[in-house]
Each structure stands twice: as C-alpha cells, then as structure tokens.
Amino acid sequence: MSEVREGLDLTKIDEITPEEINANLISVWGWRGPLYEMYANSLMLDYAPDFAKLHRWASDMYGRPEVPNIIMLSLGNIHSYIMLGWETGILNEFHTLRRNGMTRAQLMEAVMFTQLTAGMRGLGHVYHAVGNLLSIWGEPENTAPFPEGWAADPDAFKAGLDLTTRKMTPTDIDNLTQWYEKNIGFLPDSIKFGLKHHPEFVKVHRAKWETTLKTLPKQVAPYMMLRHHMITGNREGIREAALLGKAWGMSAQSIIRCITSSAFYFTGFDGLYTAHAALEDILGDEVL
C-alpha cells in the first residue's frame, strides 16, 4: 500500500490532520470537474476520516493512477449513472474519459450501448448532462489506452441477420443460434423466449446491439454487461457476459475487477452472492 495517496497518509488509518484534509480536497479540485467529489470527500473527511482513508485505499484498486483502470472504471460508472439518471455523475465521467483520451465517437458508442437497457430516459439524462457541450468539445490529443489485447472488432458482433426484412427468418434464427453457441456455448433463455413469443423484437434489438461499438474495443461490451447485471442481480446475465468476455479475450482478472468494482461502488457484498452463483466454475481459483 502506498504511504500517501492524494494527500492522505494511509499508514495511519485512525489519525488525520488538517493538512491531510486540505491536501486531499486540493487534489480532488485539481481536475476542475463537477464538485460532487469535493463535497462527498468533505463529508467523509470531516465526520468519518478513517472511513475516508479506507475509501481512498480501496479506490486505488480500480482507478487512479493507472490510466487503463481509470478508463474501465469510468466506462462502468457512466453506464450505471445513465441507468440511474445521475446527471452530475454522467458529466463527471465524460470529463474523465475525455481527459484520458476517449473520442466523442467512443463516448457516444458507450452511451448508445447503455441505451439498450436505459432506453429513451437514459438518453434524456445524457442530453441534460452534456448535450450542450458535445458539439463544441474538441478531440483529445492522446489516445485512450485499454487493457492489453483489447481492440475494436465491429464484425465480431455480427450474427448475419437479414436486415432487408423485418421478419425473423429461419436463416436468421440459425445464424443467431450459431453465434451464441460459438461465443458462449449455448443459446440464452432470454433469446429463446424472445424467438418464441416476439421474434421481430429479438431481431431489431439484436441489430441495435450489433451496431453500437465500432471504434471502442469489442471487450467493452461484456465489461459493461457485467456491470449492468451486477447491479440488477442477474445471475444468468453475469454468466453470459463473463463467457462472452472470455471468448473475446478478457482476462479473468478483468472480469474480477469489474465484479468487485461494481460491488465497491454500488452493491456491497450483496452483489458477490450473485457473482459466486454465476461464476465460480468459470473463474476457479483466479485472483486479482
């Protein structure tokens, strides 16, 4: 564990000085972003300083100072904030991701991927948060670094649906089934239900899913799916996302990091019950 992180001496959890408090708040304000981190930190530092230091200690595992970790955590958070409708958080994550090299196109790909579950309500929150900034923001000078081996691959999403017709054809069903069997080993019950009761919905919603990530690494899809299903407590969804992630080159460590960061920021230990039920046979003895 580092001795001093963002002004806080993490070797002395039960002690804090005014100098540490001021140094931490100055560090947070250094980004000149939304003020929520300053006032959230102020509450912890003023009334629960030991908790504040432990929070900083834990935060080091997921975000600062490693840039790929910052980007992955922020992508998970932007998905969650859009789902929850927290516009201050959405704005903050846009700033964080832009500052670390993500382009406007990549940011909007992440937004549209989230729209698949957040709907028009989610897009409304994004517009209120950043809609008046998108058209004037320039592009970053640096390129966003992702975990090793992560790369864009739009064709990986394609199942071979015939989009010249709205009907789910027998060939469409065969192609979709083969895609799932190739990538995760089985056809999910969610798709079985949709194909049986409303196949046209499956076709168009799947087609939207296939068009979202063009310049972002394909691994972002299962990563954000893991975050979503951790928050909703969907055991089958977590399992499907992890299997897709493994098929597309996500390491076990990336999967674990997404699971535990979701628990740290949103679900607490409750989320790990679902993760255990979903992933124990997939992860085995892997550790972060």
How is residue 279 written in tokens? 């992933």
Cβ(81)–Cβ(114) below 8 Å: no
The pLDDT score that the predictor gives to residue 41 is 94
The pLDDT score that the predictor gives to residue 30 is 86
Residue by residue, pLDDT tens for the chain (288 residues) are: 458 999 999 999 999 999 999 999 999 888 888 888 889 999 999 999 999 999 999 988 887 778 999 999 999 999 999 999 999 999 999 999 999 999 999 999 999 999 999 999 999 999 999 999 999 999 999 999 999 999 999 999 999 999 999 999 999 999 999 999 999 999 999 999 999 999 999 999 999 999 999 999 999 999 999 999 999 999 999 999 999 999 999 999 999 999 999 999 999 999 999 999 999 999 999 998
Cβ(69)–Cβ(60) below 8 Å: no
DSSP SS3 for 4: strand
Q: Taking the domains of the chain in order of start, what are their residue ranges?
A: 67-134, 154-250
d(CA 165, CA 103): 34
The pLDDT score that the predictor gives to residue 111 is 98
Specify the DSSP element, H or E, that contains 9. strand 8-9
Q: Which of 204, 183, 180, 184 is nearest to 192 (CA)?
A: 180
Residue 157 is given by DSSP the state G
Identity of residue 33? G
Number of neighbours of residue 167 by Cβ within 10 angstroms: 10
Full-prediction pTM beyond 0.75?
Answer: yes
The pLDDT score that the predictor gives to residue 2 is 57
What tens digit of pLDDT does each residue of 103-127 get?
999 999 999 999 999 999 999 999 9
Cβ(156)–Cβ(203) below 8 Å: no
d(CA 87, CA 131): 11
d(CA 132, CA 154): 29
Identity of residue 281? D
Using only C-alpha atoms, what is the Rg of the chain? Answer: 20
The pLDDT score that the predictor gives to residue 60 is 86
Positive or negative, the Cα torsion across 179, 183, 187, 191?
negative
